[in-house]
Structure 1
Amino acid sequence: MSVPRKLFSPFNVVSAALLAVSVLALQAVQRTPPTPEPPKLDLTERQTLKVKVYFTDPQVQALKPETRTVQVSRTNTRSVAQAAVDVWARGPFDKSFLGVVPAGTPAPKVYLRGQHYYVDLPEAYTKLRYGASGERMLLCTLTRTLLEQKGQDVTFLVSGQNVEALGRIDLTQPFAAGDCADQ
């Protein structure tokens, strides 16, 4: 067998090809990756607004409004409504009013479609065991707080799902301001 024939045997050719591919792969992984673009910071100025938030009296018989100051980065209706509900969940400043949910309970998420609010209550709200008047006061304080901003009615969801009731209160129909006027 001649020397060139031994040099170019199939084994040697495949081995040389594998060596070339491995050298190229090594160079590719050792190459410094391109520097990513830093994110553009959008520092928006927060605006201070006054909103009316509803709580209840100690006997859970009447709605009691409290004017609160909220800061929002956008002054659209949904952002203001969410800020008002966040304040509602934290409870009143006035010690003669009662907060409707226990301290530390997460605030519901608020969505707006046209003139209709949708409030997504966290699962924790189904475990409050308030009785019919407490459940009604919970929903009415939220309804009046939201409809104070703008809107026609409020539909309540629980954990993103339509439910028929919260305790003893029917949730199949939206709440309007008139549904909570007698409180």
Structure 2
Amino acid sequence: MSGALGGVARVFSLFNVVAAGLLATSVLALQAVQRPPVAPTPPKLELTERTSLKVKVYFTDSKVQLLKPETRTVLVTKSNARAVAQAALNVWADGPYDRNLLAVVPAKTAPPKVYLRGQHFFVDLPAAYANLRYGTSGERMLLCTVTRTLLEDRGEDVTFLVGGENVESLGHLDLREPYTRRDCADQ
């Protein structure tokens, strides 16, 4: 009988028990890895109707002295003032169709973000706009084309931010006060 107990003791030795546990764990892990992943639930498709609107977008003449409007068609999902203003600045950043006009920002430049509070627009210019080095007339054209585009049909004034921050100036021009139609009327 003691021989049978010795054989059982050898079968259930610490090494054999640990090895059997590792074998069972590896079999379970292999099964878990071979199971196909659960398919994610697809997002709900929400079709939103886009409305096409005509907006007047301002660019500059070839001598960077005069503001010149160009009527463009924009597609918006909501026809509220903020959505229309953002769509207008998106096409403004893309530049004019008319070859006699100049874009105010380089091609592929991100458009500014537009916010609206009551009749007051807040335009957050990307931080890269602070490095354009346009000089006073170029900076004025940049600010005035945006101001005139936004205030064409709506709003009282435009306050400019740069990179999400209130700044005192954009190069040579003071940004502490909002811009109005009158500030850009002589262009």
Residues 54, 135 of structure 1: alpha-carbon distance in 2 compared, 3 angstrom cutoff: same
**TM-fit CA distance, 1:59:** 4.5
2-structure distance, mates of 1:118, 1:158: 11
**TM-fit CA distance, 1:139:** 0.3
What is aligned with 2:48? Answer: 44
2-structure distance, mates of 1:89, 1:79: 15
- Structure 2 letter corresponding to 1:9: S
* 1:31 correspondence with 2:35: yes
- The sequence identity of aligned pairs, in percent, is 64
What is aligned with 2:10? Answer: 6
Structure 2 unpaired stretches of 5+: none
Structure 1 unpaired stretches of 5+: none
String of CA shifts for 1:33-66, please: whole Å, max 9, x gaps: 2222223333333211011112234444443333
* 1:91 correspondence with 2:95: yes
What is the total number of aligned residue pairs between the two structures? 182
Residues 44, 6 of structure 1: alpha-carbon distance in 2 compared, 3 angstrom cutoff: same
**TM-fit CA distance, 1:105:** 4.6
Q: Which has the larger radius of gyration?
A: 2
* 1:106 correspondence with 2:109: yes
String of CA shifts for 1:96-147, please: whole Å, max 9, x gaps: 5443334x15142223142332223234433433322221121011011112
What is aligned with 1:168? Answer: 172
* 1:54 correspondence with 2:58: yes
1-structure distance, mates of 2:22, 2:98: 78
